[in-house]
């Protein structure tokens, strides 16, 4: 009888302990879910953001801080999407300057104050490295911005960080894994964490999909914009080679490489595309776009 009572008591203790563990896990999941639900700018479009700036509903600094907090909450912890390799240490300083311009009535255009991520094979001349996901390029600080980074800054976009990618844009070996790099680890699909996010602009695709940024720039040689856009439920545009400059981007193929916009809506992608066009003397392919490229593609949108 005493042995039976002891076993019963031990069993009760085990049940209580398991209940406490389950409760803790449930609380943690609720906190992570709550972080997602409380994100103020979830699924915001560029037009909505600009309307909010005009109304004085929020500042650029508040928007940028919210996205940085979002990255910390669900990319660095929680689900650990591994979509972002690094954040821009100057992002809030840039945001403050853009807020000052807005107060003076100087909006630069539809990309003013828009939080953007660049694939980490695209050069930026700032506090961030450009690694292409490879440990071999750890500590690499380019001497100047890539052409597309320069155009985005001029348009008022806030480059808040660099996105993970398939190392060397998936040209590192025959058995490379989509979305894996030595620097950033494995990028995860935000819908189902153990499924393929598709490469090589996987970090850009996942980040846009999970609202870690409003838009991103990817690069494509053979499917690296359109595939992660498909797998993560967003919109990606692979432009005609030469419409956007490749200078300052780690190269693969002179005849096929191109950067391109990745966003949650067709309109946002079109707005971003027009921002990045231009003739670049450092990329001879862009000469063919003279007289054909536009700075605004939105008039051609048809619902």
Q: Which residues are catalytic?
A: 119, 200, 224
d(C-alpha 261, C-alpha 122), whole Å:
13
- Give dist(CA 175, CA 21) in Å, integer: 40
Neighbours of 162 (CB within 10 A): 28
- Are 41 and 63 contacting, i.e. CB atoms less than 8 angstroms apart? yes
Judge whether 252 and 286 are in contact, CB under 8 Å.
no
The answer to whether the beta carbons of residues 214 and 173 sit under 8 Å apart is no
Angle at 229 between CA 218 and CA 255, to 5 degrees: 45
Angstrom distance (rounded) from CA 207 to CA 37: 17
């Amino acid at each position: 009888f005493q042995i039976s009572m002891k076993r019963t008591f031990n069993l009760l203790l085990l049940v209580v302990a398991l209940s406490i563990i389950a409760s803790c896990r449930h609380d943690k999941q609720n906190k992570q879910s709550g972080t997602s639900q409380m994100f103020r700018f979830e699924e915001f479009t560029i037009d909505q953001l600009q309307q909010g700036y005009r109304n004085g509903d929020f500042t650029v600094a508040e928007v940028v801080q919210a996205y940085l907090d979002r990255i910390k909450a669900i990319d660095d912890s929680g689900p650990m999407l591994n979509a972002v390799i690094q954040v821009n240490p100057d992002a809030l300083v840039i945001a403050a300057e853009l807020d000052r311009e807005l107060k003076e009535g100087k909006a630069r255009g539809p990309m003013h104050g828009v939080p953007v991520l660049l694939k980490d094979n695209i050069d930026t001349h700032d506090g961030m490295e450009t690694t292409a996901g490879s440990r071999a390029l750890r500590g690499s600080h380019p001497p100047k911005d890539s052409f597309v980074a320069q155009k985005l800054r001029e348009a008022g976009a806030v480059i808040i960080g660099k996105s993970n990618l398939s190392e060397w844009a998936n040209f590192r070996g025959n058995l490379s894994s989509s979305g894996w790099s030595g620097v950033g680890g494995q990028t995860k699909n935000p819908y189902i964490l153990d499924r393929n996010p598709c490469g090589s602009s996987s970090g850009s695709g996942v980040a846009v999909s999970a609202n870690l940024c409003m838009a991103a720039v990817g690069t494509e040689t053979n499917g690296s914009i359109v595939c992660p856009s498909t797998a993560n439920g967003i919109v990606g545009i692979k432009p005609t080679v030469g419409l956007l400059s490749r200078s300052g981007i780690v190269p693969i193929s002179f005849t096929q490489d191109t950067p391109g916009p990745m966003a949650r809506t067709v309109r946002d992608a079109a707005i971003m595309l027009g921002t990045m066009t231009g003739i670049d003397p450092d990329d001879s392919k862009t000469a063919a776009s003279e007289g054909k490229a536009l700075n605004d593609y939105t008039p051609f949108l048809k619902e």
